Structure 1
Amino acid sequence: MIFGRVKPLDAILATAQKKSLHRSLGAIQLTLLGVGAIIGTGIFVLTSEAAQKAGPGMMISFVIAGAVCVVAALCYSEIASMLPVSGSAYTYTYAVMGELLAWMVGWALVLEYAVAASAVSVGWSGYFVGQIKGWFGIDLPVALISGPYVPGGIINLPAVVIALLITGLLMLGTTESARVNAVLVAIKVTALTAFVILALPVMQMDHFEPFAPQGWYGSGGAGIVGAAASIFFAYVGFDAVSTAAEETKNPQRNVPIGLIGSLAICTVFYMLVAAGAIGSPLGSQPVTSALGEWLAPGSAELGARCSTLMAAGQEPLACSKEALAHVLREIGYLNVGNLIGLAAFLALPSVILVMLFGQTRIFFVMSRDGLLPEKLSSIHPKWKTPHVITMITGLAVTFTAAFLPVGKLADIANAGTLFAFMMVAIAVMLLRKRDPNRVRPFRTPALWLVGPLTVIGCVALYFALPFDAKIVLPLWGGIGLALYFAYGYRKSHVGRGIIEVHEADIDVPPQPVPPMPGAPTPGGKQA
């Protein structure tokens, strides 16, 4: 039975204790890790996307997306405190619902992390171009800073360069320490704080009308709910806290604090930033065609309209690739706007690194479980990193960043993320029913309500995405199923009776030996 291929929980926990990573992270460091992963392209760039979809109504969009993340975080907190091991939603699903669904979750996480890294690369490119223009007055040619979705665009060269640089750093073994991450988080939080302090006092309340120009639901992913589906990307990253569970002191207490704390801090910032952007002289009304028709974000029509408006000396918020810096420049704080852009320019590469690191490690664990060729999990003899997977991932990220707009990339990443979050909520509910007596250091309050709300919220946001983003997930899933049945089903370690778990030992490829009948396994069970 495919659904019977489950990693025993006791084996996972025993192996984690036996081979666990050094536990050095506390609640504050975990919260900073979460804030560092969350604050990125979502708020620095996708404010423009939200403005085009919902206008001032994006305030409600932030609330909706944040609410879905809160209930998802509560589910994550319970299962992450029970299973303080690497692998995130992939490992949780493997332990509760079996190999096939674990494969699908892992495959969706690959889509989430890789495409998100591409989106952040494109977001960084916009701020890079703004910095070059703001400080040096140099306008880079459109052909080299935009893909074909913009008239005259060919390739987003800055996005290509940053994606390749981060890939190279990961292959060489350069990962960010908690101290470096704390500095980058401080830069981002300081930038957002400065924006709020300068933008809110000059807010013009008449710019909040009409509040919802596209209503709650509009065509092509427009409207408040459609914007929430895109804005969801601004919160993605809090689940990265759970992947650090093995390196956390007292994870049963600190993982839930890190998850919910980082989400709460970012939600407060996002609401204040959104209010400042809406009330600025730019306003946040969607850009329309010359005939008054709404234009979809990332479309060639919107790109052409923005080019026309910019040639006439206008650059609406929805047209900006560096939304927050652009708002401050319009208010009159030219140098501060440039500094906000500089903060994003310096800090966003750390988000690319976190996303790429998370994706390669998910692929790495799947490879060592036998679901992908074990050659992919080979470790470089000098660099001590999974260089093969890192290189493959980096090239894929670079390609998509070169030719696709940030909004479409964010929506595609959201599709994979929403699926993974939904599966975690289902896993928590199933585990409560199947194993009610297992120790739960953190219990999700009112799970009978929070669990279904997570599932409903994820499904609702998924169906609010644009059609091309929605269709990517089933197509990607179909490719994943074909690969699984062609290779993973036959080569799976669990399917072959090898139940030792190797997530913790990230630097040494496994050399498992099938247990002899009756012999004790690392989990303390009889084979």
Structure 2
Amino acid sequence: MSDTSSLTLSGKLRRDAGIVGLLFASTTSMIGSGWLFGAYHASKIAGPLSIGSWIVGAVIIMLIALCFAELAALFPRSGALVHMSHASHGDGLGRIWCWLLFLAYVPVPSVEAEAIVTYANNYLPLFIIPGSAGLLSLTGFIACAVLLGIIALLNLMVIRWLLNVNSTVTWWKIFVPLATIIGLLVASTHWDVIHAAPGTYKLSGMFTALPAAGIVFSYLGFRTAIDLGGETANPHRDIPLAVIGSVILAAVIYILLQVAFIWALTPGDLAHGWAQLSFKGEMGPFAGLAATLGLGWMATLLYVDAYISPGGTGLMYVTGGSRILFATGEMEAGPRALAKLNRNKVPWVAVLMMWVVGVVFLLPFPAWQKMVNYITSITVLTYGLGPVALLVMRRNLPNMKRPFRMWAAPVLAPLAFICSNLIIYWTGFATNTFLFSLVAVGFVIYALYYHLVLRKSPSDFGWRQIAWLLPWFGGIWILSWLGGIGGGRGVIPFGWDVLAVTVWSVIVMLLALSSALDKQQTEEMMARMNLTD
């Protein structure tokens, strides 16, 4: 870490990132531990319908990504997600969104570290408590903390060097899944296994697998290119191309991986049904299947990749999360110290905070799938603002130049918002209770600090612009309680619950649009942001 004499509170970030660097930054954020475990967990939940889960997930994420692609070109800045919330609903919502975005980014490197030690536990049984469904031991916890520290140190490099390292890693991360797909398809001898064990899976599983199996989690990294928007010389062109291109590339790989995984199974693996899918080496699913099929070289390759793929994703999420914190300090929605840069023009305080809090997040979710559920829910919650902000910007600044313009936004943006809320709902009542409780506690602490410590007026807080969050969060939580997923009461059956979430999402979006800033306020906010360039 650089010495204090090289620190600056503000300054220019280096604009060294090109189109390939941004594309690979998002791609490597998407192809991480999700591909190592997602197909296995999806198969247990949805059986052969898990192939449809990956397709549905890709369509949903692409809808959301298109909204962000247009917005990102309007906010070509690092940490642009923070600036979007300020421009649509003002400082009040902007401060809350900083908190939510941080909670979405900070646990991802932790879950990637857990994936690494989970695979390593197959040949060094020190990191996972035996018979605990993947819970970390004390040794595993320490190993994860050290891995997070290494990732943080790498993030202190010049951004050009960091992206060069990442590009090399990404080529590897594309090659290994493709080699796995080809190897498993060629070696498989039970292609009719897709019809095995009928009646042991349900249609509803195809949708609940989206959050529960880590499918949506696997697609979440497309925003990394947006987070680095202030570090590319041609953001208006590069960011939309990187966002859309990374989703397409990841979708093709993930769908083919699920097909290859299912065809590599044998009827014996499904003797007790898809939910009880079991085979030797299942703690490292693809490596276990490769070994079973006699593909020793592939098993070795996959164990090596179990370090590289999650490590690369964790690396980019610390990068993206630190830029969110940088923008938080830049917009004075948090401590100004978060905007401090080292001699490499990297926000070092933000990187340090990502490491410290990431270690803390290993405690409440000491297992890969447990943390994935939470990350999916909180991240998709932050996605929900994208479609809303897009429509606000279209309404308030209709003549603003848009290098990328989303087709049929009045229809597709609300549809993206509905899909976001469905994913949160499918995460289940237990996870959503934890999520909304965490958000509520953070909001109360912040409101008390704002009014009692800073002694600022309620009008400055922006209550009018944030009031719609209560029916949004509260309504989704109530629907989760009434539904039958993840501990819900099961009052609303499958199908009707989808309709209920859809109707409520439309109501919330109308409330959000009516609560947004007007044209003049948005123009003033954009002018204020330009002063920080």
Q: CA deviation at 1:23?
A: 3.2
The answer to whether structure 1 residue 225 and structure 2 residue 190 are counterparts is no
Cα distance, 1:149–1:77 mapped onto 2, change above 3 Å: same
Match of 2:192 among 169, 186, 206: 206
- Quick one: distance in 2 between partners of 1:387 and 1:161? 18
- Quick one: distance in 2 between partners of 1:379 and 1:165? 19
Name stretches of at least 5 consecutive residues in structure 2 with no aligned partner: 1-9, 462-526
Q: Determine if contact 1:109/1:362 at 8 Å carries over to the other structure.
A: yes
Match of 1:271 among 230, 235, 255: 255
Partner of 1:140: 125
- Quick one: distance in 2 between partners of 1:269 and 1:415? 23
- Quick one: distance in 1 between partners of 2:175 and 2:310? 14
Q: CA deviation at 1:50?
A: 1.5
Q: CA deviation at 1:429?
A: 1.0
Q: How does 1:38-437 map to 2 (within 5 A)?
A: 38-130=30-122, 133=123, 139-141=124-126, 144-146=127-129, 149-150=132-133, 154-155=137-138, 156-157=140-141, 158-170=143-155, 177-203=162-188, 204-209=190-195, 210=197, 213-217=200-204, 223-229=205-211, 230-282=214-266, 314-315=279-280, 320-375=282-337, 386-401=347-362, 404-437=366-399
Q: CA deviation at 1:171?
A: 6.1
Q: Determine if contact 1:81/1:442 at 8 Å carries over to the other structure.
A: yes
Partner of 1:12: none
Cα distance, 1:391–1:348 mapped onto 2, change above 3 Å: same
**CA-to-aligned-CA distance 1:340-371 (integer Å, 9 cap, x gap):** 22023123212112112322332333234333
- Quick one: distance in 2 between partners of 1:272 and 1:368? 42
Secondary structure of the residue aligned to 2:220 is: coil
Q: Determine if contact 1:73/1:260 at 8 Å carries over to the other structure.
A: yes
Secondary structure of the residue aligned to 2:119 is: helix
Cα distance, 1:186–1:226 mapped onto 2, change above 3 Å: same
Counterpart residue identity of residue 359, structure 2? T
- Quick one: distance in 2 between partners of 1:53 and 1:293? 7
Of 459-468 and 394-403, the range deviating more from structure 2 = 394-403
Cα distance, 1:120–1:286 mapped onto 2, change above 3 Å: farther
The answer to whether structure 1 residue 448 and structure 2 residue 413 are counterparts is no
- Quick one: distance in 1 between partners of 2:337 and 2:173? 38
Q: Determine if contact 1:33/1:178 at 8 Å carries over to the other structure.
A: yes
Partner of 1:472: 434
Cα distance, 1:395–1:287 mapped onto 2, change above 3 Å: farther
- Quick one: distance in 2 between partners of 1:151 and 1:354? 25
Counterpart residue identity of residue 49, structure 1? H
Cα distance, 1:109–1:524 mapped onto 2, change above 3 Å: closer
**CA-to-aligned-CA distance 1:420-458 (integer Å, 9 cap, x gap):** 111011100111112211111111011122101110111
Secondary structure of the residue aligned to 2:233 is: coil
- Quick one: distance in 1 between partners of 2:344 and 2:22? 27
Q: How many residues align?
A: 448
Counterpart residue identity of residue 216, structure 1? L
**CA-to-aligned-CA distance 1:319-355 (integer Å, 9 cap, x gap):** x232222221121101221112202312321211211
- Quick one: distance in 2 between partners of 1:352 and 1:129? 19
Q: Determine if contact 2:13/2:345 at 8 Å carries over to the other structure.
A: no
- Quick one: distance in 2 between partners of 1:273 and 1:283? 19
- Quick one: distance in 2 between partners of 1:90 and 1:524? 14
Name stretches of at least 5 consecutive residues in structure 1 with no aligned partner: 1-17, 134-138, 218-222, 296-305, 497-520
Secondary structure of the residue aligned to 2:361 is: helix
- Quick one: distance in 1 between partners of 2:33 and 2:80? 22
Cα distance, 1:211–1:183 mapped onto 2, change above 3 Å: farther
Secondary structure of the residue aligned to 1:416 is: helix
**CA-to-aligned-CA distance 1:370-402 (integer Å, 9 cap, x gap):** 33334555567x887555544443233224336
Q: Determine if contact 2:14/2:159 at 8 Å carries over to the other structure.
A: no
Cα distance, 1:442–1:398 mapped onto 2, change above 3 Å: same
Partner of 2:422: 460
Cα distance, 1:180–1:167 mapped onto 2, change above 3 Å: closer
Cα distance, 1:228–1:154 mapped onto 2, change above 3 Å: same
Counterpart residue identity of residue 439, structure 2? G
Of 248-257 and 276-285, the range deviating more from structure 2 = 276-285
